[in-house]
Protein backbone atom coordinates (compact mmCIF):
# COMPACT_ATOMS: atom_id res chain seq x y z
CA UNK A 1 0.00 0.00 0.00
CA UNK A 2 1.48 3.37 -0.98
CA UNK A 3 1.92 5.89 1.81
CA UNK A 4 0.16 9.00 0.50
CA UNK A 5 -0.47 12.58 1.54
CA UNK A 6 -3.11 15.06 0.42
CA UNK A 7 -2.15 18.59 -0.56
CA UNK A 8 -3.47 21.47 -2.63
CA UNK A 9 -2.55 21.05 -6.28
CA UNK A 10 -0.26 23.39 -8.14
CA UNK A 11 0.17 23.96 -11.84
CA UNK A 12 2.99 21.40 -11.84
CA UNK A 13 0.36 18.72 -11.07
CA UNK A 14 -1.74 19.40 -14.17
CA UNK A 15 -0.17 16.62 -16.26
CA UNK A 16 -0.77 14.03 -13.53
CA UNK A 17 -4.33 15.29 -13.01
CA UNK A 18 -5.11 14.99 -16.72
CA UNK A 19 -3.64 11.45 -16.74
CA UNK A 20 -6.01 10.41 -13.94
CA UNK A 21 -8.92 12.15 -15.74
CA UNK A 22 -8.14 10.17 -18.91
CA UNK A 23 -8.44 6.90 -16.96
CA UNK A 24 -11.76 8.09 -15.56
CA UNK A 25 -13.01 8.94 -19.05
CA UNK A 26 -11.88 5.57 -20.44
CA UNK A 27 -13.93 3.81 -17.75
CA UNK A 28 -16.96 5.93 -18.61
CA UNK A 29 -16.56 5.30 -22.34
CA UNK A 30 -16.84 1.60 -21.58
CA UNK A 31 -20.23 2.37 -19.97
CA UNK A 32 -21.56 4.50 -22.85
CA UNK A 33 -19.34 4.94 -25.90
CA UNK A 34 -21.61 7.58 -27.43
CA UNK A 35 -22.50 9.98 -24.62
CA UNK A 36 -18.99 9.81 -23.09
CA UNK A 37 -17.14 10.05 -26.41
CA UNK A 38 -14.65 12.87 -26.10
CA UNK A 39 -14.08 15.60 -28.66
CA UNK A 40 -10.75 16.37 -30.30
CA UNK A 41 -8.38 18.18 -27.90
CA UNK A 42 -10.45 17.00 -24.91
CA UNK A 43 -7.36 16.63 -22.70
CA UNK A 44 -6.29 20.20 -23.43
CA UNK A 45 -9.82 21.45 -22.78
CA UNK A 46 -9.93 19.61 -19.48
CA UNK A 47 -6.52 20.98 -18.51
CA UNK A 48 -7.85 24.50 -19.15
CA UNK A 49 -10.97 23.73 -17.07
CA UNK A 50 -8.80 22.68 -14.10
CA UNK A 51 -6.49 25.64 -14.58
CA UNK A 52 -9.42 28.08 -14.33
CA UNK A 53 -10.30 26.67 -10.93
CA UNK A 54 -6.94 27.77 -9.51
CA UNK A 55 -8.24 31.35 -9.61
CA UNK A 56 -11.72 30.83 -8.16
CA UNK A 57 -12.07 31.55 -4.44
CA UNK A 58 -14.56 28.76 -3.66
CA UNK A 59 -12.72 26.18 -5.74
CA UNK A 60 -10.52 23.45 -4.40
CA UNK A 61 -8.05 21.32 -6.35
CA UNK A 62 -6.45 18.57 -4.32
CA UNK A 63 -3.99 15.84 -5.17
CA UNK A 64 -2.95 12.69 -3.37
CA UNK A 65 0.74 12.09 -3.89
CA UNK A 66 3.14 9.37 -2.89
CA UNK A 67 4.56 10.50 0.47
CA UNK A 68 7.99 9.28 -0.66
CA UNK A 69 7.82 11.50 -3.73
CA UNK A 70 6.25 10.84 -7.05
CA UNK A 71 3.29 11.55 -9.20
CA UNK A 72 -0.38 12.19 -8.70
CA UNK A 73 -2.10 9.07 -7.32
CA UNK A 74 -5.49 10.75 -7.24
CA UNK A 75 -7.13 14.15 -7.45
CA UNK A 76 -10.32 16.07 -6.82
CA UNK A 77 -11.64 19.25 -8.40
CA UNK A 78 -14.46 21.07 -6.62
CA UNK A 79 -15.97 24.49 -6.39
CA UNK A 80 -18.96 26.59 -5.45
CA UNK A 81 -22.32 25.67 -6.98
CA UNK A 82 -25.68 27.49 -6.96
CA UNK A 83 -29.07 25.84 -6.78
CA UNK A 84 -32.16 27.60 -8.16
CA UNK A 85 -33.22 30.82 -6.40
CA UNK A 86 -36.49 29.27 -5.17
CA UNK A 87 -34.60 27.02 -2.76
CA UNK A 88 -33.50 27.91 0.76
CA UNK A 89 -30.34 25.80 0.37
CA UNK A 90 -28.66 27.59 -2.54
CA UNK A 91 -24.87 27.55 -2.22
CA UNK A 92 -23.45 24.06 -2.32
CA UNK A 93 -19.95 22.65 -2.56
CA UNK A 94 -19.75 20.86 -5.91
CA UNK A 95 -17.39 17.96 -6.43
CA UNK A 96 -16.81 18.07 -10.16
CA UNK A 97 -14.30 15.26 -10.58
CA UNK A 98 -12.59 12.67 -8.45
CA UNK A 99 -10.32 9.87 -9.62
CA UNK A 100 -7.72 7.56 -8.12
CA UNK A 101 -5.12 5.65 -10.12
CA UNK A 102 -6.51 2.12 -10.67
CA UNK A 103 -3.74 0.28 -8.77
CA UNK A 104 -4.15 2.62 -5.77
CA UNK A 105 -7.88 2.21 -5.20
CA UNK A 106 -9.54 0.89 -2.04
CA UNK A 107 -6.75 2.27 0.15
CA UNK A 108 -8.50 5.38 1.51
CA UNK A 109 -7.26 7.94 -1.04
CA UNK A 110 -10.72 8.80 -2.41
CA UNK A 111 -12.16 9.27 1.09
CA UNK A 112 -9.20 11.41 2.18
CA UNK A 113 -9.61 13.70 -0.86
CA UNK A 114 -13.35 14.09 -0.30
CA UNK A 115 -12.94 14.70 3.46
CA UNK A 116 -10.50 17.52 2.73
CA UNK A 117 -12.83 19.06 0.13
CA UNK A 118 -15.77 18.93 2.56
CA UNK A 119 -13.66 20.75 5.13
CA UNK A 120 -12.92 23.43 2.51
CA UNK A 121 -16.64 23.88 1.76
CA UNK A 122 -17.61 24.01 5.44
CA UNK A 123 -15.01 26.71 6.06
CA UNK A 124 -16.77 28.75 3.34
CA UNK A 125 -20.15 28.47 5.07
CA UNK A 126 -21.69 25.85 2.80
CA UNK A 127 -24.02 23.36 4.42
CA UNK A 128 -24.21 20.76 1.64
CA UNK A 129 -21.93 19.13 -0.89
CA UNK A 130 -23.12 17.77 -4.22
CA UNK A 131 -21.71 15.31 -6.73
CA UNK A 132 -23.08 13.99 -10.02
CA UNK A 133 -22.19 10.41 -10.82
CA UNK A 134 -23.23 7.66 -13.19
CA UNK A 135 -25.15 5.03 -11.21
CA UNK A 136 -23.92 2.42 -13.72
CA UNK A 137 -20.34 3.14 -12.68
CA UNK A 138 -19.78 0.49 -9.95
CA UNK A 139 -16.98 2.48 -8.28
CA UNK A 140 -19.05 5.63 -7.94
CA UNK A 141 -22.21 3.74 -6.99
CA UNK A 142 -20.30 1.94 -4.22
CA UNK A 143 -18.22 4.88 -3.05
CA UNK A 144 -20.54 7.91 -2.74
CA UNK A 145 -23.19 6.30 -0.49
CA UNK A 146 -20.36 5.08 1.80
CA UNK A 147 -19.39 8.72 2.19
CA UNK A 148 -22.91 9.74 3.16
CA UNK A 149 -24.18 11.07 -0.19
CA UNK A 150 -27.87 10.40 -0.89
CA UNK A 151 -29.33 10.59 -4.39
CA UNK A 152 -31.77 13.45 -4.94
CA UNK A 153 -32.07 13.79 -8.74
CA UNK A 154 -31.23 11.64 -11.77
CA UNK A 155 -30.12 12.96 -15.15
CA UNK A 156 -31.80 11.07 -18.04
CA UNK A 157 -31.18 11.02 -21.79
CA UNK A 158 -32.84 9.56 -24.88
CA UNK A 159 -31.75 9.75 -28.48
CA UNK A 160 -33.83 11.95 -30.82
C1 LIG B 1 -14.48 6.14 -6.85
C2 LIG B 1 -13.00 6.20 -6.45
C3 LIG B 1 -12.52 7.65 -6.53
C4 LIG B 1 -12.87 5.69 -5.01
O5 LIG B 1 -11.54 5.90 -4.57
P6 LIG B 1 -10.82 4.92 -3.54
O7 LIG B 1 -9.55 5.55 -3.13
O8 LIG B 1 -10.75 3.56 -4.13
O9 LIG B 1 -11.87 4.91 -2.33
P10 LIG B 1 -11.56 4.62 -0.77
O11 LIG B 1 -10.52 3.58 -0.67
O12 LIG B 1 -11.27 5.92 -0.09
O13 LIG B 1 -12.94 4.04 -0.30
C14 LIG B 1 -13.83 4.76 0.56
C15 LIG B 1 -15.01 3.85 0.88
O16 LIG B 1 -15.73 3.55 -0.32
C17 LIG B 1 -15.78 2.14 -0.51
N18 LIG B 1 -15.59 1.86 -1.92
C19 LIG B 1 -14.61 2.33 -2.73
N20 LIG B 1 -14.73 1.83 -3.96
C21 LIG B 1 -15.80 1.01 -3.92
C22 LIG B 1 -16.41 0.17 -4.89
N23 LIG B 1 -15.95 0.07 -6.14
N24 LIG B 1 -17.50 -0.55 -4.51
C25 LIG B 1 -17.98 -0.49 -3.25
N26 LIG B 1 -17.42 0.31 -2.27
C27 LIG B 1 -16.36 1.03 -2.61
C28 LIG B 1 -14.62 1.58 0.28
O29 LIG B 1 -14.83 0.25 0.65
C30 LIG B 1 -14.56 2.52 1.45
O31 LIG B 1 -15.53 2.17 2.41
P32 LIG B 1 -15.16 2.22 4.01
O33 LIG B 1 -14.19 3.36 4.19
O34 LIG B 1 -16.46 2.47 4.64
O35 LIG B 1 -14.54 0.90 4.26
C36 LIG B 1 -12.13 5.26 -7.36
O37 LIG B 1 -12.71 3.98 -7.40
C38 LIG B 1 -12.00 5.76 -8.80
O39 LIG B 1 -11.16 6.59 -9.11
N40 LIG B 1 -12.86 5.21 -9.70
C41 LIG B 1 -12.82 5.60 -11.11
C42 LIG B 1 -13.24 7.03 -11.30
C43 LIG B 1 -14.60 7.30 -10.72
O44 LIG B 1 -15.51 6.50 -10.85
N45 LIG B 1 -14.72 8.47 -10.07
C46 LIG B 1 -15.96 8.93 -9.51
C47 LIG B 1 -16.65 9.65 -10.57
S48 LIG B 1 -17.96 10.61 -9.92
pLDDT, one tens digit per residue, over 121-143 is 999 999 999 999 999 999 999 99
What is the rounded average pLDDT of the residues 15-27?
97
User: Which domains are assigned to the chain?
Assistant: 4-146 (3.40.630.30)
1 pLDDT more than 80:
no
Q: Is 116's C-beta closer than 6 angstroms to any atom of ligand 1?
A: no
Instruction: State the pTM of this model.
Output: 0.97
Euclidean distance between CA atoms 119 and 53, whole angstroms? 17
For residue 52, CA distances in Å to 16, 46, 84, 141, 154 come to 17, 10, 24, 28, 27
pLDDT tens track for 31-78: 999 999 999 999 999 999 999 999 999 999 999 999 998 899 999 999
Which of 62, 101, 130, 143 most suits a substitution to test ligand 1, by most atoms within 8 Å of the C-beta? 143
pLDDT tens track for 88-113: 999 999 999 999 999 999 999 999 99
Q: Is 142's C-beta closer than 6 angstroms to any atom of ligand 1?
A: yes
Amino acid sequence: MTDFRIRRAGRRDLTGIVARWSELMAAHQALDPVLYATAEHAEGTYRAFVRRHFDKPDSVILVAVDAAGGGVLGYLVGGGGQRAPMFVVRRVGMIFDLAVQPDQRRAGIGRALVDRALEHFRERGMAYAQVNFDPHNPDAAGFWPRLGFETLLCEAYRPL
